[in-house]
Amino acid sequence: MALEGRVIDRINALRVETPSWGYGNSGTRFKVFAQPGAARTIEEKLSDAAMVNRLTGICPSVAIHIPWDRVDDWDRLREFAAAQGVSIGAINPNLFQDDEYMLGSLGHPSAATRRQAVNHVLECIDIATKVGSSLVSLWLADGTNYPGQDDLRARRRRVLECLREIYSAMPADLRLLVEYKFFEPGFYSTDLPDWGTAFAICIELGPQAEVLVDTGHHAHGVNVEQIVAQLLDVGRLGGFHFNARKYADDDLIVGSTNPFELFLIFNELLAAEDDADGTVARCARNVAYMIDQSHNIEPKIEAMIQSVVNIQTAHAKALLIDRNRLHDGQRRGDVLAANRVLLEAYETDVRPLLQEARKRLGVDVDPIVALGASGYSERVARERGKAAAASGYPGA
């Protein structure tokens, strides 16, 4: 029983941040299928996120994207969120939709365009301070489409010079998460294409800069859990953007295409949380778990709750790994015995454990069923109707 108690405490200690943009209409370059009830304003997005938190009990903060979620009165928004039972989490600058950013933002050849981009990130740092957020989460769409289009080393130096100015403007309690992506919208080169580039830049900037791993941003065959292990071992894993993909950056429900990979990622995180090396353990215990998805055809609130359940499931299975037997197999070089220790945990049905954990948290044992019973989605569909939508993300 003691073991189960400890496992349940760690299940209920998990915190997952949901993205404001996951509640609004979104789509592909081909079409946005607007959905009845899709959130249109930051207030509606916070209300939907608050419903997800009430039903799961583990999603108390919401990542926002600027300018999609910009308001005039941040104190009022902070109070609105608090009244809903949530807080504003990571602030995501948007350096990919202004017309001036066609050839890049922090990596753009024009100093004027780089100035515009730096000023936008400085505004996001200011917003973080105003809403009490400790995270600015930066992704650059910057890259090129054709060989020769630009000097690749010059772009690196421009990005670094701009990031140095941004880093020097950060208050001591703020973390800058640097997100990489191997391609798109750059189709020849991307200025921040992989974990190594992001890590090198974080080292050059300083200890408040850490790498963000978006699980959909890797080439096929890349061992994402090994990247996680490496970033943990150097104490520079800052956070995740959880989602799933089969082909490219599909932003599907996390765990829906490769749940075993998600389990292996949590295996690395939990092993590091208990590591004797304080830097590794501290880093692992401070990782920001965030979802970054676009729900193009599925009901958005149900999709977000399913995502949280998939994350809880992978995390709970990883908590059941018998680390003594694993280490023993590894020490003896018994390859398959060690592998079977992971498989045993992965093949364990953790639904009863999660139901017991939810009981102790005071939420419904099945949040998906509870959402259906609440009539919330139907009510907001009636109240909000269906908003017109363009292509891709808002403001595109």
139 binds ligand LRH (CB under 6 A): yes
Cβ-closest residue to ligand LRH?
139
Q: Which residues bind Mn ion (CB under 5 A)?
A: 214, 241, 292
Indicate which single residue of 45, 108, 114, 181 sits in contact with ligand LRH (rule: CB under 6 A).
181
292 binds ligand LRH (CB under 6 A): yes
142 binds ligand LRH (CB under 6 A): no
210 binds ligand LRH (CB under 6 A): no
266 binds ligand LRH (CB under 6 A): no
Q: Using CB distances below 5 to 8 A depending on partner kind, what does residue 195 bind out of Mn ion, ligand LRH, none?
A: none
Q: Mask 11-40, x = binds ligand LRH (CB under 6 A)?
A: ----------x-------------------
For the segment 336-375, give every residue that binds ligand LRH (CB under 6 A).
Answer: none
241 binds ligand LRH (CB under 6 A): yes
225 binds ligand LRH (CB under 6 A): no
249 binds ligand LRH (CB under 6 A): yes
Strand partners, 65: 92
CB of 141 to ligand LRH, least distance (A): 7
Quick one: 55 or 141, whose CB is closer to Mn ion? 141
- Per CB under 6 A, residues contacting ligand LRH are 21, 92, 139, 179, 181, 214, 241, 249, 292
